[in-house]
Amino acid sequence: MGRAMLIICAGVLISLGFVSLGTQSQGKQIMSNNVGYAEFTQAKNRAHTAIQMAFQEMNKDIDWAKNHDASNKWTPTVDGQTVELYVDYFHDNPAFFGVDSLRIFASTLYGEDNSKTANIESVYTRNEIDMVPKFEGALTLASKYTKVTTNGSATISGNNTSCSENKPGIVANNADAYTDATSGTLQLQSKDAIQGDPNIGLNTDIKYDPTDELIARLAELSDVTKITGSYKGDLGTQENPGVFFVEDQASLTGGISEGYGIMVIRTNGALSIDSAGTELDVAGNLNFNGLVIFENAYNLDGKGTPTINGSVLVGNTEDYNGKDLDIDLSGNINIQYDCKGEDYANQAAAMAFKQGRYNRIVTFE
């Protein structure tokens, strides 16, 4: 009996030993799994961080993404580890701020001897800046204070074969401005001087805000150009359209013939071009491509021969209670609606703010 008990006890002790060894082994396995999961999580976080860093680079350089495809991967260091990242455009809209879709791949090594790879794939769409006003017509009157006078060879057209749809030549957001525009353009020399769909339209859905907010934000940025005095600089290019403010008396004296982006003329602003010794308001022979905004500015003088390809917007802030905004089209000004001008305006605003707008569609891990 005693011997049997000894055998039983020995068996129990041996069993307990096996259980102990098994428990220790499971504990080590669980710990190893936890460590592996933590390393995997850290690796994924590095990849996600690299994607956010890539967006910062895209905001600084609009061509950055296109220059970092699978053949030229970007390799930033995040938390002491290298991350490989590249961008694949699977739909690239030719319009600067049409909807672009892009797929971003980021990968980084982790684990013992960096034997494992964490991969992140995210799909984004880039949309246009919401605050830049839609082009509603060649000339948009978004103020009840407008007063239109004409007596020359000015032309205003909302028809453009390069755009998907035609716009009104002149569109007003209130009955007073519509009536004034209709009667005020009767003295134009050509019966075809105003064209569009319709020639002159009324659209009460048009609002000036939040354009006033856009202008206020742009005015605070260091990268916008404030034009004063005798200005001899540039007015932007196709590749680098700009944002320009005229808030005081100014003249363009450097032989500037082309401009791109957004031009804002505010309250006391008056822009002229010095052409053959003659001072001509708003532009002489200037060809500006984009959006021209007159905010609380009481004199749009078209007595020169400027051409605006895009749109002109006339409006007032909520607190404005001043003079009529006089739209004088007594010269040879040509305002031509152009959707490409809308692209230049969107591009100029995006570059000024140094930010695009990206929407994440899906992420694969």
pLDDT tens string 10-22: 555 455 555 555 5
Residues 327 and 184 in one domain: yes
The mean-pLDDT minimum among 35-44, 81-90, 266-275, 334-343 falls in 266-275
Spatial separation of the C-alpha atoms in residues 156 and 297, rounded to whole Å: 20
Spatial separation of the C-alpha atoms in residues 183 and 55, rounded to whole Å: 51
Q: Which domain holds residue 17?
A: 2-127
Number of domains comprising the chain: 2
Residues 123 and 144 in one domain: no
Q: Torsion angle of alpha carbons 120, 118, 88, 163, nearest 10°? A: 10
> What is the arithmetic mean of pLDDT over 20-29?
56
Residues 122 and 149 in one domain: no
Judge whether 219 and 245 are in contact, CB under 8 Å.
yes
Which of 106, 127, 148 marks a domain boundary?
127
Over the stretch 254-275, which tens digit does the pLDDT of each residue have?
667 789 999 998 876 555 544 4
Assess whether pLDDT exceeds 90 at residue 189: no
pLDDT for the residue 10: 54
The mean-pLDDT minimum among 31-40, 288-297, 338-347 falls in 31-40
> What is the arithmetic mean of pLDDT over 63-72?
89
pTM: 0.66
* 338 belongs to a structural domain: yes
Residues 219 and 267 in one domain: yes
Assess whether pLDDT exceeds 70 at residue 71: yes
> What is the arithmetic mean of pLDDT over 317-335?
77
> What is the arithmetic mean of pLDDT over 186-213?
86
* 48 belongs to a structural domain: yes
Calculate what percentage of the chain has a pLDDT beyond 90. 33
Residues 108 and 215 in one domain: no
The mean-pLDDT minimum among 19-28, 107-116, 234-243 falls in 19-28
Strand (E) or helix (H) holding 260? strand 258-266
Number of Cβ within 10 Å of residue 48's Cβ equals 18
